[in-house]
Structure 1
């Protein structure tokens, strides 16, 4: 097998008058494009890049100005191929080379000064939608991925502002960029590259994000593209990059900005201009026909995780958009389980809502949810260009939606179950190695945290989660097996709470169950058992079983309604002393069937601590002890004998027999029984005193109210 010949930059550099000898230039560029990474020495790579970029600079006699389009495109493709290796491609970071790449990418930068390299370009730049412009954008994207310094230099050159303008549909001369008929594929690729560049240039750069949001209205541009992009597989890559950029915009926007006039949370880092991002992201979330935690669904989850459950946008969280995009109807049939209608039908069959709930499940009013307005150019219908005066406007109206709080948790749980069915099918354990290189702590925590935030921020969603995971009809019989060993969503979450190899996933799963139980330790132990809840309780600083949970008992009246004008509250008698874990079994949902405090299962026999042994059991236990003592006596290593100095040593067996015959053991038992009786009497006395105090307080309140009447 022959070794590939190393690529030499001299073969290209030694071509004289490269502007006219196009055939030789084309041949050498193709050789550079087809070369393997091992064929190019770092020094030769740098020389090759310098030579090609020199031919693309802004001189009037630069060779690229007379090259045919195919050679011009080959030169950019050769730079892209040679620049994929971080070693030797550092020359691309030089100011001259970076300016050359920015020019050929047709990004709408500010007008350069006379000293800028861009000012030397006399030939008009290619069209923004051209193949050569997209090739230059790919070079910039690779450069920013391989060299972190390139991100800083692009941001310093105004790259963040230029990317925001490009997303708004503006060209280098501030003109509107026309998409043209049949150019959807080219537009999608350009959006992918702009989203990738926007994501990279905004990492840890609040100043760049502030310029994009405050001065270029990048929020409106992102809303436009996410809303109009069809949720189809051909658009997933571009949609993923736009969502990553959107997440950076939310995350790195400076929190010390002046609160806007409509914001009621001046102390909150969340800016109300980002409220409008929620609806289009939810549109994509419900419309996309996949339930796998892969892009773009994983990035949708990250964006939703960044948006809080503020009261003013709770109606948006609780709605299901009817028409997420113009092509939504083409991606899923009305009866498909992935369509909007299919999801709503599934939710409606989960439970039978009351008449009041049915009335609430109505279409949201058009004015309840708003998006920023976008003034579109008449020559470019798809352009999201927005005037600076309307950058913060909130007069737009979103498409109508259906009020359904169960939709969000239902789909999130479907995604969670799909992940387990695919990667951790029962009876596999979460601590086992996952296929396809999946890392549990990188995949599941965002999804679990989103469910946790939803349970904390929305009571209707929390109620749906509790009824779904911990329904009153849950089979808690021992025959059905432990809760954590069962197949299903609840069993999967409980197994995550017990996995030691993935601490982040373990903690987030525990936080989810804690939020579903409203932060009530006793309720959590009642529902899943102290054995499953011990880890999260320890994280909360609760080292032992929580106190008993006693439900309030409403006083019965002769009629169904309490006396008119009465504002009496029911008596709630708290336990006088901390109780043992067995008191977890007192719940209103299933009072007739107490639950085992450790497993959370139905305890038909009752859980009794400290059960007294019968006389026969005591005798059998004593016999077992005698046998053990006899074995120990025969062991030459262990000698268990007792006796004072000068006295004959006695075996332990003989000592125990003497104590039994003398009645000393019975005396010990009587002392223990007496101590237990005294303890119980003291507890009863304290309980009685506590009850009397509560009764006196109740009488005092009753007497005061009657006196007022």
Structure 2
């Protein structure tokens, strides 16, 4: 049967709400009639046009009372669905719900071990975190909101089949409930930052779900719940003993690192440039946070050189091994090989993904121990220079000295027995290939000298690098002489 539209729909909605409001007073409807009326109202409420009575104060109050005061779980869930749709479609209804004072009952309902209740109530509270006066600290301190969220995450972690992360398929309702719980966790920790410690117990379950949940096989690997799991790492405190034990377990110190790197590798093969900012940037930021808080020995070097890996620094070593350029990458200019580090470096200057490229640059700076010398060694001065300039980090003289040594083939140009590397491109010097070009004419040499002179003068003015213009130096040393005009005329003759 086709639903009415226009004024007929408005009249039908008004009659349904009047019937339900009257039922709150006199209980004249049978349970089946009550549920049928709410189901019909839900269908009308999906489109707010000509459904105005649903979004009024009286309409929200009626739905709220059925949602939280009904003795029937079925009736309550029917009302919750209509209420969630209303709060989603009309932002002004969220404050109306908050003013009714039902947040405590919502938190109590969230304790139920039921995925429908978890999904609906989590979404309801989530929607009230936008543009309302809801008192989140009060819900955490007095109504155990944090405890309920942690308990729901624990239930999801317990139900995941261990050792079947590549083949198992989760139930749809369970997946939807998990996604809403994770979104609620992110918003509450974002808007109630002083109470983040109340959620310390969530990280062991987040780590378990992240690692044990079936690995995404779709073309969009950061679909729920992985995108929401990653977002939680950006808000929670990773320095607590519980967090350290969960994210860097002594028995499997690289477990979480492997999953994050696997997701990144899959994401970099799946998402186009236009989606990198929104979809992949949070994962890059999460990897930075994960790396910074990972246990590390003081003598660990954040470079591509080989270091001793112990349980204390295994997570960091695994991330560096996966993301820093390898010998394979350095056979050509960095960013040209078909590897994960090269795919990341290729996006360093991507104009379509400014947030992503900034996140990648900061990640590599973290992987370099936040040391400018190591940073240049790891990615090459060509990539590093822009980041250092934007963040007002001076280029150490050691970088320039090493560059000159390598260009001159002097002592110390390949420390530790490593092959010489072009400090600008990051490529091994003995792998560089140059085109066989004819010797430049005198006029071409003069133009090139003038161009270099201008470039070095501009570079000096930025203050990023303190270096003498080589053309100016050559003139001072008498190695360049200006030819008189007669020479040009003689040549023409």
> Do these two structures clear the TM 0.5 threshold for a shared fold by scoring above it?
yes
Equivalent residue number for residue 324 of structure 2: 470
Q: C-alpha distance in 2, partners of 1:52/1:290?
A: 45
- How many equivalent residue pairs? 414
Q: Deviations over 1:255-278 (max 9, x none)?
A: 5xxxxxxxxxxxxx4642221111
Write the mapping of 1:370-449 to structure 2, written as runs, cut at 5 A.
402=251, 404-424=252-272, 430=273, 439-449=275-285
Write the mapping of 1:547-626 to structure 2, written as runs, cut at 5 A.
547-549=397-399, 579=401, 581-582=403-404, 590-604=416-430, 621-622=441-442
User: Cα offset for 1:299?
Assistant: 0.6
Give the secondary-structure state (helix, strand or coil) at the position aligned to 1:443: helix
Give the secondary-structure state (helix, strand or coil) at the position aligned to 1:548: helix
Residue 120 (structure 2) aligned to one of 176, 180, 193: 193
Give the secondary-structure state (helix, strand or coil) at the position aligned to 1:532: helix
Residue 168 (structure 1) aligned to one of 108, 111, 114: 111
User: Cα offset for 1:657?
Assistant: 6.0
Contact 1:517 1:524 in 2 (8 A): yes
Residue 130 (structure 2) aligned to one of 200, 203, 209: 203
Equivalent residue number for residue 64 of structure 2: 102
Residue 214 (structure 1) aligned to one of 141, 159, 182: 141
Equivalent residue number for residue 656 of structure 1: 488
Equivalent residue number for residue 71 of structure 1: 33
| Structure 1 unaligned residues grouped into runs of 5+ | 1-30, 109-124, 170-178, 180-186, 256-268, 321-360, 362-401, 425-429, 434-438, 550-577, 608-615, 627-651, 662-709
Write the mapping of 1:237-636 to structure 2, written as runs, cut at 5 A.
237-253=176-192, 255=193, 269=194, 271-291=196-216, 292-320=221-249, 361=250, 402=251, 404-424=252-272, 430=273, 439-458=275-294, 459=296, 460=313, 461-470=315-324, 474-475=327-328, 477-478=330-331, 481-542=332-393, 546-549=396-399, 579=401, 581-582=403-404, 590-604=416-430, 621-622=441-442
Write the mapping of 1:623-702 to structure 2, written as runs, cut at 5 A.
655-656=487-488, 658=490
Q: C-alpha distance in 2, partners of 1:227/1:277?
A: 8
User: Cα offset for 1:283?
Assistant: 1.5
User: Cα offset for 1:587?
Assistant: 7.5
Q: Normalised by the size of structure 2, how large is the TM-score?
A: 0.75
Q: Greater Rg, structure 1 or structure 2?
A: 1
User: Cα offset for 1:311?
Assistant: 5.0
Residue 228 (structure 1) aligned to one of 155, 158, 163: 155
User: What RMSD over aligned residues (CA atoms) do the two structures have, in Å?
Assistant: 3.2
Q: C-alpha distance in 1, partners of 2:49/2:413?
A: 67
Q: Deviations over 1:625-644 (max 9, x none)?
A: 89xxxxxxxxxxxxxxxxxx
Residue 101 (structure 2) aligned to one of 132, 155, 158: 158
| Structure 2 unaligned residues grouped into runs of 5+ | 161-169, 297-312, 447-483
Q: C-alpha distance in 2, partners of 1:280/1:165?
A: 21
Q: Deviations over 1:159-210 (max 9, x none)?
A: 32221110123xxxxxxxxx7xxxxxxx322221111112111235574211
Q: Normalised by the size of structure 1, how large is the TM-score?
A: 0.54
Contact 2:329 2:339 in 1 (8 A): no
| Distance change >3 Å, CA 315–CA 96, structure 1 → 2 | same
Q: C-alpha distance in 1, partners of 2:348/2:18?
A: 60
Q: Deviations over 1:345-395 (max 9, x none)?
A: xxxxxxxxxxxxxxxx4xxxxxxxxxxxxxxxxxxxxxxxxxxxxxxxxxx
Q: Deviations over 1:10-64 (max 9, x none)?
A: xxxxxxxxxxxxxxxxxxxxx5xx42xxx511x44333222111111245885xx
| Distance change >3 Å, CA 477–CA 515, structure 1 → 2 | closer
Is 1:52 matched with 2:16?
Answer: yes
User: Cα offset for 1:148?
Assistant: 0.8
User: Cα offset for 1:506?
Assistant: 0.9
| Distance change >3 Å, CA 625–CA 92, structure 1 → 2 | closer
Contact 1:484 1:490 in 2 (8 A): yes
Contact 2:129 2:188 in 1 (8 A): yes
Q: Deviations over 1:100-154 (max 9, x none)?
A: 111221x26xxxxxxxxxxxxxxxx3422x2x32111110010010111111111
User: Cα offset for 1:509?
Assistant: 0.8
Q: C-alpha distance in 2, partners of 1:143/1:659?
A: 87
Q: Deviations over 1:451-486 (max 9, x none)?
A: 111222223343332232237x623553xx332122
